[in-house]
Amino acid sequence: MSVIASSLKVALVQSDIHWCHVTQNLVNLDALLTLDESIDLLVLPETFATGFAINLDVAEPEEGPIFTWMKCTAARLNAVVAGSVLVQQADKKANRFYWVWPNGHYEFYDKRHLFCLGNEGAHVVAGTQRKIFTVNGFKILPQVCYDLRFPVFQRSLNDYDVMINVANWPAARRYAWDQLLIARAIENQCYVLACNRIGDDGNGVAHSGGTAAYDYLGQPICQVKDDNQGVCVVTLKHDKLAQFRERFPAHLDADAFTLNI
């Protein structure tokens, strides 16, 4: 079996998001992103520049100011920058996971599963496509927050190596966050990268973090301290993942299915 002997260095950001203050949030992120080493990929939390203010007038046009900051940051760091932004779509918004390359090229995934308890569907349009992005030979499945609870949508068809979930996941359900991330890594035999925020949002909902990287065994390999802003840098090894899958090829016994979205 041939393997891609490549690595992927990722920086995972855990930040306190100031409610609806775009400029303040971007200045805060710039202060956090004083990295002393080169990276390939930077991952930011869900709605990192506004908070989860889905019912307020905070959505930007496509390729708006927040997106422009992502482009500039990608060019400055010479790395892919990923994170979610509320983008205006007719009378609703998309919770859009942008994937921005240093050269300005970009792709995106719109959050598929909308949080009914938070009435997200009244303000946000659901995504209609499952996407796979690629960098340094790694195939990556982007997911946003509530998507984590729906394993069929995330089930690997032997088509990705890394799952990324960016979130505003409340502290009250933190145990579920930690356990589901571990489960997704084990059942899909993949690396899992998770970015969550800290602090209280404008609705008084507390967030404790849980930003971490997990290997294909579900073991944590990088974590940011709870209730603290910080950046965790981790290097993923493609050859180690491929060797594990070859030694323990559970995917060969997986049930065949078709996902209708």
Contact 172/206 with Cβ under 8 angstroms? yes
**DSSP-derived secondary structure letter, 239:** H
The pairing of beta strand 92-100 with beta strand 106-110: antiparallel
pLDDT confidence of 1, banded at 50, 70, 90? very low
Q: Whole-angstrom Cα distance, residue 102 to residue 74?
A: 5
Q: Which of 60, 71, 93, 145 is catalytic?
A: 145
Report the distance separating Cα 46 and Cα 193, nearest Å.
13
Q: Which residues pair with 149 in a beta bridge?
A: none
Q: How many residues does the chain have?
A: 261
pLDDT number for residue 40: 98
Q: Is the dihedral of CA 209, 78, 192, 232 positive or negative?
A: negative
Identify the CA nearest to 83 among candidates 47, 136, 129.
47
CA nearest neighbour of 157 among 180, 190, 134: 190
> According to the model, what pLDDT value does residue 183 have?
98
**pLDDT at 141 exceeding the cut of 90:** yes
pLDDT of residue 74: 98
Q: Is the dihedral of CA 239, 12, 38, 106 positive or negative?
A: positive
Catalytic residue among 71, 111, 190, 195: 111
Task: State the pLDDT confidence band at 5, using cuts at 50, 70 and 90.
Answer: very low
At 43-56, the pLDDT tens digits run 999 999 999 999 99
Active-site position among 46, 60, 190, 195: 46
Predicted pLDDT at 260 = 83
| CB-side neighbour CA atoms (13 Å) of 59 | 19
145 catalytic? Reply is yes
Q: Which fold has domain 8-250?
A: Nitrilase/N-carbamoyl-D-aminoacid amidohydrolase (3.60.110)
pTM: 0.96
Find out whether 161 and 141 touch, Cβ atoms under 8 Å: no
On average, the pLDDT of the chain sits at 96
Amino acid identity of residue 7, one-letter, is S
What's the first-to-final CA gap in the chain, in angstroms? 33
**What letter would DSSP give residue 16?**
B
Radius of gyration of the chain (CA): 17
What is the rounded distance in angstroms from the CA atom of residue 199 to the CA atom of residue 213?
21
* pLDDT tens-digit series, residues 61-119: 999 999 999 999 999 999 999 999 999 999 999 999 999 999 999 999 999 999 998 89
